Amino acid sequence: MKPFEVRNAHFDRLVNTPDLRWMGQNTNHAKPHAAVIEAMERCIRDEEFHVYAPPAGLEELRQGIVSDLDLKDHAALVSDGAVSSLYHVCHTLLQPGDEFITTDPTWNWPMAFARSVGATVKQIPIYGAEYGYRLAPERLAAAITPKTRIVYLVDPNNPLGTACTSAEIESIAAIAKAAGAYLIHDCTYRHFAHSHELAAKHYPDRTLTIYSFSKWLGLAGLRVGAVVADPDLIERLAGSPPNNLGSSILSQRAALAGLKIKSEWFPGVLTQQRANQKLINDAVTRIPGLEMPVYPSNGNFIIIECEKAGVKPEALVAAFQERKIMIRQGAYHTPTFGDRFIKVSTSVPSLWVEEFVALLPAMVERARGRNEPVKLF
Ligand SMILES: Cc1ncc(COP(=O)(O)O)c(C=O)c1O
């Protein structure tokens, strides 16, 4: 089997495991609002799926995304999830020899997209108390060069859960602007943040805001998101998009219905998610050697450091996997710091979190000293 097949078989097994507790991919398992289900049922009943959706997305959805971000002078290009927007932007804006700067840890796929077009990737380490688990703008200023074409900022950061302050965003935008670089502000987790500032407000010409419906609305399997930017930039992107025949109409109907019920539905999801973070934090403080360095998290996930407990993240993940609980090893995000932590998603039923915390002491014991390689992705 080729490596991609091994990886695929792994995820296929997970998808086909009944009652798996999905606590590793920051997906959202909150009960959907009835209006979102109805919108999809209507789309199927009316057999709306025979047609192609408009190439840039349903107009009402495009406008809904722009107003959700309150970026009135910007335009949205709907995509098959945020990852498709990131692929599209990297392939359109980067050329061989360009430089792509991001943090370590970051979300890895855009680095692969940048490398695939011949760009070089530079990562600024932000893991650890010495960095406060965040990007100090001065460190970006020191790293940026005339070759830097894209600064890729995941904010709130996945996996760390830190979010930039308004002042930090203002500085980061100014640094990107002074270098003439594009700033990709990946705001996939924005809705979970305690407070969040959009870089596009400070650097509207060349900031690309990445939007997802996978996390706040829980539509990961439907694949719908967007890139939002200055209309001239969107015009350029719209010239050769991967989804020129439109994104899934079913997904767009669900997303649109979601935006309409957001203010009534999402606050409850957020409260539950934050209560789940607290349950985990309480449990972690009772176990010697475990720590949650970022709490509360601005994402729908938290990291737990397990190095001082003498536990390898992979062994802990494997132990939980035997109990049908999927969590993520740090190495998924970063080879440099991956030995230190696991990541656990919190936009899930509280029952799952209760199971997780009840098992945690025993799983730590089970994982301790187990260093045999486990195949994880
Ligand atoms: C930072 C970040 N950006 C983008 C994505 C992908 O989002 P989507 O499901 O909308 O493609 C993820 C998914 O985990 C992510 O963590």
Distance 211 CA to ligand 1 centre (A): 9
243 lines ligand 1 (CB under 6 A): no
Mean pLDDT of 271-277: 98
148 lines ligand 1 (CB under 6 A): no
214 lines ligand 1 (CB under 6 A): yes
The b/e string for 13-46 (b: 16+ C-beta within 10 A; e otherwise) is ebeeeeebbbbbbbbbbbebbeebeebbeebeee
267 shares its domain with 256: no
377 found inside a domain: no
255 lines ligand 1 (CB under 6 A): no
Distance 108 CA to ligand 1 centre (A): 10
Protein residue closest via CA to atom 7 of ligand 1: 82
pLDDT band at 370 (very low <50, low <70, confident <90, very high): confident
Instruction: Please report, to the nearest 10 degrees, the dihedral formed by the alpha carbons of residues 27, 30, 31, 37 taken in order.
Output: -40
204 shares its domain with 104: yes
225 lines ligand 1 (CB under 6 A): yes
pLDDT at 376: 75
121 lines ligand 1 (CB under 6 A): no
* Sequence-ordered strand ranges (E) for 114-192: 120-125, 148-154, 182-186
Mean pLDDT of 248-260: 98
Contact present, 373 and 316 (Cβ < 8 Å): no
65 found inside a domain: yes
243 shares its domain with 298: no
pLDDT at 167: 98
7 found inside a domain: yes
372 found inside a domain: no
301 shares its domain with 234: no
193 shares its domain with 101: yes
Helix, strand counts (H, E) of the chain: 11, 12
pLDDT at 274: 98
306 shares its domain with 217: no
pLDDT at 377: 78
Q: What is the pLDDT of residues 142-163, one digit of tens each?
A: 999 999 999 999 999 999 999 9
243 shares its domain with 299: no
Q: CA 157 to CA 59: how far, in whole Å?
A: 30
111 found inside a domain: yes
311 shares its domain with 205: no
Q: CA 364 to CA 289: how far, in whole Å?
A: 10
- Structural domain count of the chain: 2
188 shares its domain with 336: no
List the CATH number of the domain containing 336: 3.90.1150.10
Distance 188 CA to ligand 1 centre (A): 6
Q: What is the pLDDT of residues 277-319, one digit of tens each?
A: 999 999 999 999 999 999 999 999 999 999 999 999 999 999 9
The b/e string for 297-306 (b: 16+ C-beta within 10 A; e otherwise) is bbbbbbbbbb
376 found inside a domain: no
Considering 191, 225, 260, which residue would you say is the last residue of a domain?
Answer: 260
Residue 344, pLDDT > 90, answer yes
* Residue 151 backbone dihedrals phi, psi, to 5 degrees: -105, 125
The length of the chain in residues reads 377
Mean pLDDT of 30-54: 98
230 lines ligand 1 (CB under 6 A): no
214 shares its domain with 349: no
Residue 375, pLDDT > 90, answer no
Q: What is the pLDDT of residues 56-99, one digit of tens each?
A: 999 999 999 999 999 999 999 999 999 999 999 999 999 999 99
Share the mean pLDDT of the chain. 97
Structural domain that includes position 24: 3-32+263-367
Substitution candidate for ligand 1 out of 158, 191, 343 with most atoms within 8 A of CB: 158
pLDDT at 51: 97
pLDDT at 222: 98
pLDDT at 371: 72
81 lines ligand 1 (CB under 6 A): yes
99 shares its domain with 10: no
Q: CA 204 to CA 283: how far, in whole Å?
A: 43
Q: What is the pLDDT of residues 151-204, one digit of tens each?
A: 999 999 999 999 999 999 999 999 999 999 999 999 999 999 999 999 999 999
Considering 260, 289, 320, which residue would you say is the last residue of a domain?
Answer: 260
255 found inside a domain: yes
pTM of the model: 0.97
List the CATH number of the domain containing 215: 3.40.640.10
212 lines ligand 1 (CB under 6 A): yes
84 shares its domain with 122: yes
Percent of all residues in the chain with a pLDDT value above 70, rounded to a whole number: 99
Residue 231, pLDDT > 80, answer yes
309 found inside a domain: yes
Nearest-atom index, ligand 1, CA of 212? 10
Q: Which two tokens stand for residue 77?
A: 């290009």
